[in-house]
């Protein structure tokens, strides 16, 4: 029996499929076209749901390791008591997206959970290849720890969180902070994370449903790593699936769709963490592709995945 889309998700995706029918996907390496198309999709999906009225957004800045000024956007629920927080890293395949494109989703997490979030406007590849993005993420984590008292944050209850490429950066940040003896991380919340530059062989069961395709993936990793992508010398702080020993990493929440090209690398990462003694909560959602919940946000499965993310944020 072949894999199929969840019926509600299929209905929500149908207009997008119809609009793209007959079009030629951009070739591997074409970053500019992917930015133009996919950032438009992200903006449209983000505007399809209302912005919460009870979340205040404040911009801060920090200086990265190379002296660059990095935007850090703080989202806090009005009247929320002091407590935990999360550092958020947005998706975009390492090559696209900005903090502003994800204002809606992040604000909705904060409104529903009461947990404030610091979103890091990390620099993107190929203009800024590894290690710039993960170092920018580390700058954000360090800044939040240094300003925890001012923001009413318990530094022992700070999580890292991200979706897609941002999930990969969150996992890489956890590895970097562990290996560097850096700020403590209470939990890593990895949403359909992009973890392994070696995911290059198309799965015929997934390919017909892939919203982030194998060509997109090759483009993203190639932009981040250049000729090193897929080779023997890629560090775990670029591709977390490469980590030699996961022991000592923070507890992890990981989720992915069964029709997502990241399925196998996420399953494998969850298993490796668990075998190394790291606490893991893992969800594999049948019938859904990558980033489905941003488009099919009224579907039952989208409501369930959002409820899980909010629950984890609340539990910090």
Place of tokens 């995706």: 13
**SS3 of 116, please?**
coil
Give, as one character, the DSSP assignment of residue 255: E
Q: Does the annotation count 150 as an active-site position?
A: no
Looking at the DSSP assignment, which residues form a beta bridge with residue 189? 161, 253
Q: Is 196 exposed, middle or buried (0-12, 13-18, 19+ CB in 10 A)?
A: buried
Q: Does the annotation count 297 as an active-site position?
A: no
Of 111, 113, 119, 164, the active-site residue reads 164
Give, as one character, the DSSP assignment of residue 285: E
Query: Residue 50: CB partners within 8 Å, gap ≥ 6?
Result: none
Of 130, 260, 266, 285, the active-site residue reads 260
Of 90, 216, 290, 294, the active-site residue reads 290
Q: How far is CA 130 from CA 58, 71, 141, in A?
A: 28, 19, 18
Contact status, residue 104 vs residue 49, Cβ threshold 8 Å: yes
Q: Return the C-alpha torsion angle 21, 101, 209, 269, nearest 10.
A: 160
Give, as one character, the DSSP assignment of residue 154: E
Strands 252-257 and 280-285: parallel
The per-residue DSSP string of 60-89 comes to EEEE-TTS-EEEEEEEEETTPPSEEEEEEE
Q: Does the annotation count 2 as an active-site position?
A: no
| Residues noted as catalytic | 164, 260, 290
């Amino acid at each position: 029996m072949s894999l199929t889309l969840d019926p509600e998700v299929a209905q929500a995706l149908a207009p997008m499929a119809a609009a793209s029918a007959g079009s030629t996907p951009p070739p591997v390496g074409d970053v500019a076209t992917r930015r133009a198309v996919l950032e438009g999709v992200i903006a449209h999906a983000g505007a399809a749901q209302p912005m919460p009225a009870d979340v205040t957004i404040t911009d801060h800045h920090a200086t990265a390791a190379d002296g660059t000024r990095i935007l850090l956007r703080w989202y806090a629920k009005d009247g929320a008591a002091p407590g935990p927080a999360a550092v958020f890293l947005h998706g975009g395949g390492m090559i696209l997206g900005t903090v502003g494109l994800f204002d809606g989703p992040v604000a909705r997490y904060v409104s529903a959970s009461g947990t404030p979030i610091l979103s890091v406007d990390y620099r993107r590849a190929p203009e800024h290849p590894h290690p710039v993005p993960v170092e920018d993420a580390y700058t954000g984590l360090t800044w939040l720890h240094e300003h925890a008292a001012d923001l009413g944050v318990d530094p022992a209850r700070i999580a890292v969180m991200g979706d897609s490429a941002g999930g990969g950066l969150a996992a890489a940040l956890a590895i970097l902070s562990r290996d560097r003896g850096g700020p403590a991380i209470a939990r890593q919340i990895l949403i359909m994370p992009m973890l392994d530059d070696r995911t290059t062989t198309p799965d015929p069961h997934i390919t017909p449903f892939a919203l982030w395709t194998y060509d997109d993936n090759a483009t993203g990793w190639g932009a981040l790593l250049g000729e090193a992508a897929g080779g023997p010398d890629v560090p775990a702080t670029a591709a977390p699936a490469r980590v030699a020993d996961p022991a000592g990493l923070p507890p992890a929440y990981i989720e992915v769709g069964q029709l997502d090209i990241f399925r196998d690398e996420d399953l494998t990462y969850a298993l490796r963490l668990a075998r190394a003694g790291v606490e893991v909560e893992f969800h594999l959602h049948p019938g859904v592709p990558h980033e489905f919940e941003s488009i099919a946000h009224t579907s039952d499965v989208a409501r369930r995945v959002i409820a899980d993310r909010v629950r984890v944020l609340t539990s910090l």
